[in-house]
Structure 1
């Protein structure tokens, strides 16, 4: 408690939740200069009763997501400084050959994302580090000496103490009863001890997050889940253990288990049971804990059947059987501690960060584990104070953790339960990145869906959309086109039809479903002035013209690259990616729009069809009521016309580097649009093309892909799209961009080709030169038109010159590669401008 039990009547910032996330945010805000900060907590300080109180504190830094890895490493460094971290190391063992191959790839993620001390161990080396492990059932291990254990409660108290020195006040045993919102702004926090007027509120309550969402009618798609943790009695194998020297943490992910030392005892954490979901409103309050014999609200009674019997849908043995096989000493022990402890999962396994879209000043930091807690506090504090998310001073990409990423269906309780259960079930599973969920499918379908099914489309779930990746109907083209084989991992959830489609579109004409992309209509007398002040290129062009433009944040980081069509003096159509990226970018545009400008997301109203390839003009010219010749319908122009009786907006743009158009029509005309274009294209051997082909064709052309080649971590000059910036206009982020240009760039994105034809690598792989990791592959695929594997990477400018030799590490193998000039295909744009 700070001072007394009497709450202040007002504060600039109120943080709800004094676990490790709330305390980290308070600490970092205080370090940034905020003084009037109040933290309230329903439980005691700082052993609050949430997941911070019982979390085992494992910090494994390596993840397949760059942001999560970076935040884990930051957490490790911060908690070390606070004397709340022990670097005992961490080992993930492989029980199967498949896991061993995966650990090789995981080590490469670590090297790519800054975890430099990871190494692969033999079974004997694993046993040497953790003597009680049965090396006979281990294929090897991935060891990171700098991993370790965080004392979450201790770290929370230490961060709070430093925050208090800067004026932050903490109040425990203070339950929040409501959040007051008025006129689209947070106004106050109501508690059982009184009301606190507030300019900003950060909710950092983790498992209770959805209850706070209910207070303000905001969907928070997370679900509390329980998993099991047990601590053995003293083991002979750990007798006399030096309390200052601890064994490495241990993860047995093939059995959904983890282990850590407790002096002469051993702890076992288990996800090896069916998902134990808990409704947020059913979490026990402090008044019931004594009756139930529980210590914290985030605990449930231990359920023996989930440890001693196999209830996990994907396993064939119980947690106990797997644990004692790997650590035989556990077969004869008694358990001193047994509990079911809660944490939570979102529908996609990522945190919930950011400010509420329709409520100014209401922020969230939820679904965060101790592993990333310190880093999350830093990111959110920077975001709240300076308007841009940063980690340790560097710009970061929070797209996949942004609260606005969730689509409307994610507000469904049924959907949240289904996907959260899946995330729990798969948390330690060996899941291929392209493996698709089975439940809650078919929610969003384009009007072409029946035709795509007839062609054997392989559908992936893309933010609820059924998105065709390739078509079985094109497998026969493999006899006509050469498509190299892929390594075992990369060949999973892939088809040679992809490579055949790619080459066929270069020869013929392809049809691509654009319906999941996001069309945003901007109208009003002030539309041109508004967009001119928001976007980095000059978009105040004549009606009928199209502009490609970056959209930046205040720090000059890339929020999007957009296609902007001027349809009339007061009407623009902005086109961007689908799903989460479109939602977040659309929100940015809407929030900056003045009162005399209307911004409308037309995703549910328009379908889109890409028609590209040498025969695109021949396919369309007899269908549409406009002249498609190059002189009359030039590149980067737009016309509103009719295709047959269908009203369409036609843009002459091409993301694949071929002649062609994008056509947009009201959704109800979609089926007829597909049928008419398909019938006309049959004369020219039309092929349906999927996302895989779109991506590999655009990669050959050097066209950027949001979320990989372009993220807020980079500015347009680093991303190689400085040509689309007009510094003669004023726009958001210009000041920072001018400073960056004057200072010069230290890195830039470049294409790299593998020297051996037929070789292909994956994303997230280290790029090495002079025995140092100098970058990582942001995007990778095979270039079927140039017959070479392609990867893009941000490299230091000294290594970014064409002809520079580099190496790419993939699956514990080194691939010789060469930096190239771009574009790799059709550099004179002869195909796109014909």
Structure 2
């Protein structure tokens, strides 16, 4: 029967799973009444209907944990609001550890839970058995118990969200397939359905497993791929206690959920099985995939080890249903960079039920406000690049990404699949020097260098890993002599045209009206004063600039430039990332090293800090820029790609006299931490203002025409002392290592969390950085008169706070 479709709507949502219904519900809460949700078949028929319905609250980061916690709170209240039962109960969860590294991970999570305000108890094996009497704890070392975690009925909670949306005025129409998009002037303006067109101001892709293919219709990249996902349900178990907490044995890749006297056992196995390589069948709805007992046999054996009662319990259901997974196990949220007013909420990696409430709220607010309502970089769709949407990449990565949800989440852990996507022209030279590569945005980058005879592989731990001493040697070489790093993965953009200066001065908070050859450190701010990018800008000519940014920001940066370019501006943006290799030479002996290779005068008088020149080096003409991210004298050499291998060899040969060392990104991180240099996406985000981040010096409040975000910063200045500030901390005890999300205490009270941490070999202990908040203002006086601690694995350590860097705060070594 043909449905009567409206011809227009303010928002059209494509997809009627729990995510789409949540977006519709939250839009109506913000006053959107002209909302239409289209579902090709029936609500929940894709993957929602067969979800396990778990609603845990603790995620990998604070921000994601808070969104999951919002979901739980929402589901608890929905029945009272809508009259539709959701089946939500707070049965709690129990996660066990069977090795010391897993226990360390759980303790770190328990520490972060304190920042989020969640009750989370670290308990003994005996206490775990009291909560789960049927569990074998012979090999269990400890566990964490989160009493406020819950579970719900996926179908019922979706129907409750849909009912709430309808009560708010939304139209939910089933049995209507969307065939294509309507676009105009690079904007989404509606959808084309099999029953007619609907004009719309906004379109939201909540198509689940179909989101990638539907995105392609509009030229939007939504990297996700379906994988087979398994669980079994036992026959009735009379000995099973009702209301048990959800049990996770992540070392056994299994979880256990009590359900009406039966037990659901689900798996997140390594070496998963991708599905739908030729597309999702048109008639797939409320469908299951074939059983594969052989594939699951090892995990069923692990389940019987954990719960011996399963050896004599029959299975009532063997279920295999597909779910979509993304390359980095983080879902996609936000406005697509390729098409204005086209939003995406998809790729939920089997955590769609726990994420739907928070994700729906965030996306609705994003549409309403015109920007992300908080720091959502973890899941922002602008983190993706085109290669990540290719079939081969997704199919290969999906074999790993499902199981990674239950792998131990070690710091510096690297993906094993879909590697070698982007390689620097120096890759083989670095490999010959012992480079151990990591992957960042597809780039193979040298993270550390193995010594002769040392296996070039990670041995992962939450403590000192096998490359700790390599890091120390590389770190010391840069501090005392000279080191070289390949930073070709830097994002590089050429901005040129008669209006280049005008445009960049509006986008950049600092003044780029400088002489040719001058470099400017600056931020790109939003209207709220938050930091959208952290870049250097070099004036190459009167109408031409080079902008250099971080490796993860390529799509986001170009999107920001396009968004803020006036239609009539005579300026062209070109991504030149692949055109230039970057060989960075740093350390007290860098000048002497490079002077052997060029006739150019590299003295401080002739080549000042924050200036750039084209110079001859060997057979090549390179752009040498005197700047640093490690706090030492040095130059970044921007070399046309084909010349880079020969220049790199020359640099290494020239530096032999000074025991030059190649260094990796782990060392760059430890060096920059000692200097308190910020990293966009971790230490600074669009939710942190330039003043809060301590970067006000990089804004020119007096330049003609102002800049985006100026008014917000001035308003914040006018309020007096900042209540939130970015602070560096030095551990007094040299033993603990922290990484991020650890609680920061002031006089025994949590006042913030870390954004980054790394052992500083020059200062002899871990340096951490993060934001602290104090209602009366985060002043130097308050910092000096307050006792600060940082908690690592549930143990607090005294730390020294500082508004300045711990290494060379006067920058004497840089400007020599």
The answer to whether the aligner puts 1:215 opposite 2:221 as a matched pair is no
Give the alignment partner of residue 488 of structure 2, picking from 505, 515, 532.
515
Tell me the equivalent position of 1:677: 651
Distance 1:736 1:169, change over 3 A: farther
Q: Distance in 2 between matches of 1:621 and 1:389?
A: 48
What's the CA shift for 1:163? 2.5
Distance 1:217 1:582, change over 3 A: closer
The answer to whether the aligner puts 1:701 opposite 2:675 as a matched pair is yes
Q: Distance in 2 between matches of 1:281 and 1:57?
A: 29
The answer to whether the aligner puts 1:468 opposite 2:446 as a matched pair is yes
The answer to whether the aligner puts 1:812 opposite 2:784 as a matched pair is no
Tell me the SS of whatever aligns to 1:490.
coil
Mapping 1:214-253, distance limit 5 Å: 214-238=216-240, 241=242, 246-253=243-250
What's the CA shift for 1:518? 0.8
Q: Distance in 1 between matches of 2:717 and 2:28?
A: 32
Give the alignment partner of residue 271 of structure 1, picking from 254, 268, 271.
268
Tell me the equivalent position of 1:106: 109
The answer to whether the aligner puts 1:6 opposite 2:7 as a matched pair is no
TM-score (norm 1): 0.91
The answer to whether the aligner puts 1:793 opposite 2:770 as a matched pair is yes
Tell me the equivalent position of 1:627: 601
Tell me the equivalent position of 2:315: 335
Tell me the equivalent position of 1:456: 434
Q: Distance in 1 between matches of 2:726 and 2:291?
A: 52
The answer to whether the aligner puts 1:354 opposite 2:334 as a matched pair is yes
Q: Distance in 1 between matches of 2:275 and 2:449?
A: 41
Tell me the SS of whatever aligns to 2:209.
helix
Tell me the equivalent position of 1:312: none
What's the CA shift for 1:136? 3.2
Give the alignment partner of residue 407 of structure 2, picking from 423, 429, 434.
429
Q: Distance in 2 between matches of 1:280 and 1:742?
A: 57
Deviation per residue, 1:396-437 (Å, 9 max, x gap): 2x2232223223321321111111111013221224232323
Distance 1:591 1:12, change over 3 A: same
Distance 1:620 1:22, change over 3 A: same
Tell me the equivalent position of 1:90: 93
Segment drifting more, 602-611 vs 146-155: 146-155
Deviation per residue, 1:609-658 (Å, 9 max, x gap): 11111112212224334322212221112222322332222211111111
Give the alignment partner of residue 555 of structure 1, picking from 510, 520, 528.
528
Distance 1:472 1:233, change over 3 A: closer
Mapping 1:395-414, distance limit 5 Å: 395-396=374-375, 398-414=376-392
Distance 1:409 1:648, change over 3 A: same
Tell me the SS of whatever aligns to 2:179.
strand
What's the CA shift for 1:803? 6.0
Deviation per residue, 1:782-819 (Å, 9 max, x gap): 22222222111211246761463222222333322221
Instruction: Please tell me whether the aligned partners of residues 802 and 821 of structure 1 are also in contact (alpha carbons under 8 angstroms).
Output: no
Instruction: Please tell me whether the aligned partners of residues 63 and 109 of structure 1 are also in contact (alpha carbons under 8 angstroms).
Output: no
Tell me the equivalent position of 1:71: 67
Tell me the equivalent position of 1:599: 573
Tell me the equivalent position of 1:506: 479
Tell me the SS of whatever aligns to 1:790.
strand
Distance 1:375 1:622, change over 3 A: same
Instruction: Please tell me whether the aligned partners of residues 14 and 204 of structure 2 are also in contact (alpha carbons under 8 angstroms).
Output: yes
Tell me the equivalent position of 1:198: 200
Tell me the SS of whatever aligns to 2:138.
helix
Tell me the equivalent position of 2:557: 585
Unaligned runs of 5+ in 1: 290-295, 310-317, 477-485
The answer to whether the aligner puts 1:30 opposite 2:28 as a matched pair is yes
What's the CA shift for 1:513? 1.0
Tell me the SS of whatever aligns to 1:276.
coil
Moved over 4 A (4+): 473-476
The answer to whether the aligner puts 1:740 opposite 2:716 as a matched pair is yes
Tell me the equivalent position of 1:293: none
What's the CA shift for 1:157? 2.5
Instruction: Please tell me whether the aligned partners of residues 237 and 261 of structure 2 are also in contact (alpha carbons under 8 angstroms).
Output: yes
Instruction: Please tell me whether the aligned partners of residues 547 and 564 of structure 1 are also in contact (alpha carbons under 8 angstroms).
Output: yes
Give the alignment partner of residue 830 of structure 1, picking from 792, 796, 812.
812
Tell me the equivalent position of 1:143: 145
What's the CA shift for 1:605? 0.4
Tell me the equivalent position of 1:489: 462
Mapping 1:531-542, distance limit 5 Å: 531-542=504-515
Q: Distance in 2 between matches of 1:343 and 1:453?
A: 38
What's the CA shift for 1:487? 11
RMSD: 2.3
Deviation per residue, 1:264-322 (Å, 9 max, x gap): 22211123475222117554544x77xxxxxx14x223333334x2xxxxxxxx22222
Tell me the equivalent position of 1:755: 732
What's the CA shift for 1:351? 0.7
Give the alignment partner of residue 443 of structure 1, picking from 421, 433, 437.
421
Q: Distance in 2 between matches of 1:177 and 1:771?
A: 58
Instruction: Please tell me whether the aligned partners of residues 509 and 686 of structure 1 are also in contact (alpha carbons under 8 angstroms).
Output: yes
What's the CA shift for 1:174? 1.2
Instruction: Please tell me whether the aligned partners of residues 127 and 133 of structure 1 are also in contact (alpha carbons under 8 angstroms).
Output: yes
Instruction: Please tell me whether the aligned partners of residues 277 and 391 of structure 2 are also in contact (alpha carbons under 8 angstroms).
Output: no
Q: Distance in 1 between matches of 2:700 and 2:438?
A: 38
Instruction: Please tell me whether the aligned partners of residues 269 and 402 of structure 2 are also in contact (alpha carbons under 8 angstroms).
Output: no
TM-score (norm 2): 0.93
Q: Distance in 1 between matches of 2:45 and 2:255?
A: 22
When the two structures are aligned, how many residues end up with a matched partner?
792
Tell me the equivalent position of 1:480: none
Instruction: Please tell me whether the aligned partners of residues 475 and 496 of structure 1 are also in contact (alpha carbons under 8 angstroms).
Output: no
What's the CA shift for 1:474? 8.8
Q: Distance in 2 between matches of 1:379 and 1:93?
A: 32
Distance 1:707 1:447, change over 3 A: same
Mapping 1:648-663, distance limit 5 Å: 648-663=622-637
Instruction: Please tell me whether the aligned partners of residues 355 and 361 of structure 1 are also in contact (alpha carbons under 8 angstroms).
Output: yes
Tell me the equivalent position of 2:295: 306
Tell me the equivalent position of 1:315: none
Tell me the equivalent position of 1:314: none
What's the CA shift for 1:572? 0.8
What's the CA shift for 1:256? 1.1
Distance 1:683 1:590, change over 3 A: farther
Segment drifting more, 604-613 vs 637-646: 637-646
